[in-house]
Amino acid sequence: MDRIIRATAASGAVKMAAITARDAVECARTIHHCAPTAAAALGRTLCAASLLGNALKEEDASLTLRIRGDGPLGGITAVSDSRGNVRGYVDEPETDLPLRPDGKLDVGGAVGRVGTLTVSRDLGLREPYIGSTALLSGEIAEDVTAYLLESEQVPSACALGVLVDTDATIRAAGGFLVQLMPGAEERLIDVLEENIFLMDQVTTVLDEDGPEELFRQVLKGLEHHIVSEEPMAYVCPCSRERFARGIASIGREALEELIGTGEDAEVRCRFCGKRYVYPPSELRSLLDSLS
């Protein structure tokens, strides 16, 4: 089952969250018909957004993570609610590159190494809180770590992985984010760095042992306990009404023009692929509702 688990270690000086999201990433792959490299890039971004979104305290808050590099993939967008439920898309889902010499999917090559990572937190206030940093490698996890340090001054380590099976379906997906609280002892950095350096690959751990094993390996030698465990999924909150409001927002004149064509207006949700059709009669009542 897809879920986010949180733990604290070293008397609260270290906080760690891990996610396992095979089903959510498989859902994204299916909706967008992603080739393996694109599926891995989108999957890692969805996992990162979910981990960051799940940390939001406000119930109705949401977080958008955007990655735009100079590679063939174009941009990646992932949106999470405050529970960690995510949705997202990539500009060029058919992107597929040869495997790297070490046998891994070339996510950095697909994303590109020059570009930006932008995080937008919508906390229900008038303006969202937006932060942005330059991409470091396009491998996503390193870029998220750089963002957290540069833009939010939080020292952290992040690993994300998507394992694509031989039949192109997602076999494992997830990762972790570990953060050092202000005032944490220096030696904790060394312990964590050593543990992360020596640990197995994230997708191997998730595939063979499950997310609990990530805590055992990353927090090895530190006393830790699990503080929460919550389910997450690929969820799109789109609806007929929501898109109708979007159509209405084009304004009276444009709407009248649209009705004048006598044709149905059709919209397709970028996140879940669902199609909504609005016949002229319905557009007419949208227009009436504007006055």
Question: Would you tell me which residues interact with Zn ion (CB under 5 A)?
Answer: 236, 238, 269, 271-272, 274
In whole angstroms, give the CA distance from residue 248 to residue 244. 6
Terminal alpha carbon distance of the chain: 48
In whole angstroms, give the CA distance from residue 246 to residue 9. 46
CB of 282 to Zn ion, least distance (A): 19
Residue (of 114, 109, 112, 120) closest to 80 by Cα position: 120
Q: Which is nearer to Zn ion, 220 or 274 (CB)?
A: 274
In whole angstroms, give the CA distance from residue 31 to residue 29. 6
Tokens representing residue 131 in the block: 């932060």
Q: Which is nearer to Zn ion, 240 or 252 (CB)?
A: 240
Alpha-carbon torsion, ordered 207, 48, 67, 240, to 10 deg: 100
Q: Which is nearer to Zn ion, 9 or 238 (CB)?
A: 238
Q: Which is nearer to Zn ion, 215 or 271 (CB)?
A: 271
Residue 209 DSSP SS3: coil
CB of 107 to Zn ion, least distance (A): 25
In whole angstroms, give the CA distance from residue 45 to residue 66. 8
Tokens representing residue 202 in the block: 């994230």
CB of 243 to Zn ion, least distance (A): 9
CB of 47 to Zn ion, least distance (A): 20
Q: Which is nearer to Zn ion, 199 or 238 (CB)?
A: 238
CB of 88 to Zn ion, least distance (A): 11
